[in-house]
Structure 1
Amino acid sequence: MKKAHGGEVRLIGGQWKRTRLPVADKPGLRPTPDRVRETLFNWLGQDLSGWRCIDVFAGTGALGFEAASRGAAQVRLLEQDGALVAQLKAIQIKLQASATQIERGDGVAALRQLAPASMDVVFLDPPFDAGLFEAALQAAGRAVARGGYVYLEAPSAWSDELLAGFGLAVHRHLKAGAVHAHLLKPLAGAV
């Protein structure tokens, strides 16, 4: 798989289709590959009109801006790195992405502060070595609406057995190179 460090990724669909987003050369920054994002948004549907989304570890903003490009009504992008936040804000201005809200801060803490069942999609693509998966999944399982989705990108596959404690189950799964992409749904009776 081609590394995108110090390069660019492109938006796949929607009003900003083919727009290129810069990828800073930062340790641990691993943008979701174009092919994986294309599959994810085929799973979610091309039109996200009215959806409420949160991209908890925004990085390049590829997931959040892709959702906004496809009509999401509200997209919050959270990132801790100040330089990446500045880059995200520059992209927001360039695209005139009025549905996006960019914040510097702890994505898991922001997820925990959301009202229960308030998000249609929660994007989770944490740094693989940061030990954030369990905390992020716990908060996402609470924040996602009953008919919504949690997207999880991880270095290994998560099974229904592992996810049950978070009130989530695997809806779709894809392995692409070293990345496992999961589309999760809330379990019936969870929330």
Structure 2
Amino acid sequence: MYMSSQFWIIFICGFILYNMYYETNLLKNITNYKKYYKMAIVVAFGLGALKIVKSSPNMSYENMKTLHQFIQCMPMDRQSKDLLTPFLSSMTPQNSNYPVRSIQTLHTSGGKSTKRCVSETKKKYVASLQNWKCSKCHQQLSAWYEVDHKKRLEHGGTNELNNLEALCRECHGEKTAMENL
């Protein structure tokens, strides 16, 4: 395995050097078959997934549950989620006998914390609960959205999910300015 990876590195470097030295358009000719390369990559991933499922069914079940949770929290449009969800419907937390620890942890963590930090995972989860919309202006959240405490930590608020809301930067700035007055 180690020798074959060295061989491929040397082969690819040699091919690129040959292309540069003779000023040929070999690399341009390769891009003509882009569709077939994409198809080959999909087949390779599919065969890899089959090998993983056959070698360890229990591990693949856990991986599918994690993948389903990941897809639910991703900022995707509804059609893309609906396209992927039927394949994973048997892995949903409702159909599983095992509790989904990661989401349960998100719901219960931060109850006693007095620090102003919220994890990136929790921020993304809060935004996904709001369908990636600002809780004030209901506009689509940009990449630099902020998570705010509904009840300030100084006034007895916590870092629990029910005390957090995702806001766009403009709404967060307005809210903070009004609270500080």
TM bucket (normalised to shorter chain) is: under 0.3
- Calculate the TM-score normalised by the size of structure 2: 0.22
**Normalising by the residue count of structure 1, what TM-score does the alignment of the two structures yield?**
0.21
Q: Which has the higher helix share?
A: 2
Higher relative strand content: 1
Larger Rg: 2
